[in-house]
């Protein structure tokens, strides 16, 4: 436990003290925890890769996704209609940004375990575009997600993700469930 605390002190404290988003759109996690026994270098390397993918979701800039995702990337819970591989998230982000052009990502916490990075994420924006047949009226949207990345050879090879889609659909005016 003492070792874990020293790693957290060395690695997490500077991240917590920085702004939530750097000038280039790369979100800085509000909290970072590294597994006991993971070297600082390995933890920082995994975090850097994850932050590229976080930046993609924060900005919509495809260059970030291309820098983070392996050509062999696999979405482990692929939504219906989305292409497998790196092109899937690119299309998903582009399509969702038509509905919520000012979408931003806050990285609430990151947990780094060997070759896995777990991110607790919050998406925010305003529904000003169209989502399917529904036209936005500028209403605020805010929903949570969890991503689990597998990292190999400096790139994300797999992603398992869970979004609070019910909250999102309620905010978009598509689902009315109490």
Does residue 177 belong to any structural domain of this protein?
no
Does residue 178 belong to any structural domain of this protein?
no
3-state class (DSSP) for residue 66: helix
Does residue 161 belong to any structural domain of this protein?
yes
Q: What pLDDT does 178 receive?
A: 65
3-state class (DSSP) for residue 29: coil
Can you give the residue range of the structural domain that contains 160? 2-172
- DSSP line for 108-163: EEEEEETTEEEEEEEEEEEE-SEETTEEP-SEEEEEEEEEEEEEETTEEEEEEEEE
DSSP state of 12: I
Does residue 106 belong to any structural domain of this protein?
yes
Q: What pLDDT does 127 receive?
A: 97
CATH code at position 82: 3.10.450.50
- Of 129, 160, 157, 134, whose CA–CA distance to 145 is shortest? 160
β-bridge pairing 155-163 and 69-75: parallel
Q: What pLDDT does 22 receive?
A: 58
Does residue 18 belong to any structural domain of this protein?
yes
Does residue 11 belong to any structural domain of this protein?
yes
pTM for the full predicted model: 0.85
CA distances from residue 48 to 42, 112, 119 in whole angstroms, order as listed = 10, 11, 13
Q: What pLDDT does 24 receive?
A: 85
- Structural domains counted in the chain: 1
Torsion, Cα of 92, 95, 101, 107 (10° steps): -10
Q: 41: Cβ–Cβ under 8 A, 6 or more apart, which residues?
A: none
Does residue 155 belong to any structural domain of this protein?
yes
pLDDT by 10s per residue, the chain, length 178: 333 333 343 344 333 333 355 568 899 999 999 999 999 999 999 999 999 999 999 999 999 999 999 999 999 999 899 999 999 999 999 999 999 999 999 999 999 998 999 999 999 999 999 999 999 999 999 999 999 999 999 999 999 999 999 999 999 999 887 6
């Amino acid at each position: 436990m003492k070792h874990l605390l020293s790693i957290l002190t060395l690695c997490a404290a500077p991240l917590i003290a920085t702004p939530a988003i750097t000038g280039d759109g790369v979100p800085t996690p509000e909290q970072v925890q590294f597994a006991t026994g993971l070297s600082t270098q390995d933890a920082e390397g995994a975090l850097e890769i994850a932050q590229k993918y976080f930046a993609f979701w924060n900005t919509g800039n495809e260059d970030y996704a291309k820098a983070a995702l392996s050509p062999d990337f696999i979405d482990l819970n692929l939504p219906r209609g989305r292409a497998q591989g790196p092109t899937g998230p690119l299309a998903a982000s582009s399509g969702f940004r038509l509905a919520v052009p000012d979408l931003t990502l806050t990285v609430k916490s990151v947990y780094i375990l060997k070759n896995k990075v777990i991110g607790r994420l919050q998406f925010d924006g305003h529904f000003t575009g169209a989502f399917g047949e529904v036209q936005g009226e500028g209403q605020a949207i805010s929903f949570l997600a969890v991503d689990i990345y597998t990292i190999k050879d400096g790139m994300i090879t797999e992603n398992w993700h869970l979004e609070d889609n019910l909250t999102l659909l309620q905010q978009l005016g598509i689902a009315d469930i109490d």
